[in-house]
Structures are given as C-alpha cells and as structure tokens.
Amino acid sequence: MRGSLKLCLSLLSLSAVPGVFASEKQLFERGEMSQPQYTLPPLPYAYDALEPHISAQIMELHHSKHHQAYITNLNAALTRQAEAVQTNNTTSQASLQQVIKFNAGGHINHSLFWLNLASASAPETNSSAAPELIKRIQATWGDEEKFKEAFSAALLGIQGSGWGWLVKVGSGDKQHLSIITTKDQDPIIEKDQVPIFGVDMWEHAYYLQYQNGKAAYVKNIWNVINWKTAEERFAGQVTDPLKTLKDSVWQ
C-alpha cells in the first residue's frame, strides 16, 4: 500500500517531464491524482527500413499493435490503480502492480529496441560508429566476432519469450560489460545496469518472417544494430525518457 502510494506520487511528478505522456491529464473526481497517458513513440525510420533483415510487415505489427497494446494496457492499469488508491482497495492495488510491471516493462523495452536498430545501409550499423564500446567489447570478449557469438548463443538459449541485453554494470573501476537474458516477466534490469542495446526474442519479433528459424533472425539482427546509439548509451550520454516510469514501478 505504501508502495502504491509512492508509485502514485512519483507518477504525478511525471507530468513535469515533456514528451513522456500526452498533454491531457485528468483529475479524478475527488482527488488530486493525475492520470498519466503514455503514447506510442514514432519509429525513427520507416517500417520497411530494416528490410530484408526485419520485414516491414513485422515492424508495423510489432510497433503499431504489440507496442501499442503495452501502452494501452499500462494506461488502463494506471487509471484503475489511481482509483484503487482513492478507494483504499489494497487487494486491487496489489493485483494491478503486476499488470503495471508487465506493461511498463514492455513499453520501456520496445522504446529502447526501436532506437537500437537502424537500416543496414545507414552508417550507424557499422560498428566503427561505436569506437569506445568496441574497445571495451574487445577487452572483454577478445574481439567483436567472439562477442557476437556469445550474445547470439545467449539469445538462442532463451526458452520461450524473453530479451537479451548488452548492459554496462556498475561504475568506476568496477564497471564492466555483461550479456544478460530475461524471460517473460522477470524483473527489469537491476538499477546498476545500463542497457546498451537489447534484442527482442518474443515470437512476435520474428515469427512471421522467420517462423521457427530463430537462428537466422539472430544472425541477421547484427546487420541492423545501431552502434551509434549503443556508443551513446555506453558513454552515458542518453537520458532515458522513461526513467521516471521505471523508477516508480521498480522502486
């Protein structure tokens, strides 16, 4: 209950963050609670930009239907959560927390995913766009190819739905790179982990084009990884627009 209240209060502060949710906010009848409304971020490229590696059909469905559904469900759950706080319904608050975590996770993950992809013909997909990150990758895995092999093996090792991420862990002398995978609704990456890039291994990310050819999807994804945004995230130059959401849901 305290947690839910904290969630509610920290969501209030979201209204100060431009671009995080749409301008319309509603005050509930008897309270001060505002209703955050997240909106689907536009893709920074056309649906067919990742062809032939990821088809336009997949990109359109994945973005306009799957990502949108996480946002729609998140907004609905936040509205119901605010109502449950108003009515002191702790049972309802507890069950909504799970729904909020799942859908906030989907919104955060997909928002990152779109930005860590780019057209194979764009200069961003040449790993020379990430000089510092590649140096660290070489120091950690030996060379870029060995890193890709390790990351691909981790992706293919995920049973069922999940994500694979390259993350920067810790800070100062202890800072290092790591490959992590998560399944289904496992908690989102730890607070000391900064995602550099991630790969969606849910079937909806590849099935229409690759069917059960998961390995081909994983092989081809390397052609469309945006190394420029990876370098920026590695350098800590990116302020995560959904950080407040993340901090409020995973306290």
Ligand X SMILES: *[C@@H]1O[C@H](CO)[C@@H](O)[C@H](O)[C@H]1NC(C)=O
Any binding-site annotation on 204?
yes
The one among 38, 47, 151, 165 contacting ligand X by CB under 6 A: 165
Query: Is residue 159 a contact point for ligand X (CB under 6 A)?
Result: no
Residue 28 or 202: the one with the smaller Cβ distance to Fe ion is 202
Contact 113, 143 (CB under 8 A): no
Kindly tell me the sign of the dihedral angle through the C-alpha atoms of 13, 112, 102, 175. negative
Q: How far is the CB of 66 from Fe ion (least distance, A)?
A: 5
Q: How far is the CB of 13 from ligand X (least distance, A)?
A: 22
Q: Which does 165 bind (CB under 5 to 8 A by kind): Fe ion, ligand X, none?
A: ligand X
Query: Is residue 23 a contact point for ligand X (CB under 6 A)?
Result: no
Place of tokens 């993350």: 167
Query: Is residue 87 a contact point for ligand X (CB under 6 A)?
Result: yes
Q: Which does 106 bind (CB under 5 to 8 A by kind): Fe ion, ligand X, none?
A: ligand X
The one among 61, 97, 99, 102 contacting ligand X by CB under 6 A: 102
Residue 49 or 82: the one with the smaller Cβ distance to Fe ion is 49
Annotated binding-site residues for Mn(2+) read: 62, 110, 200, 204
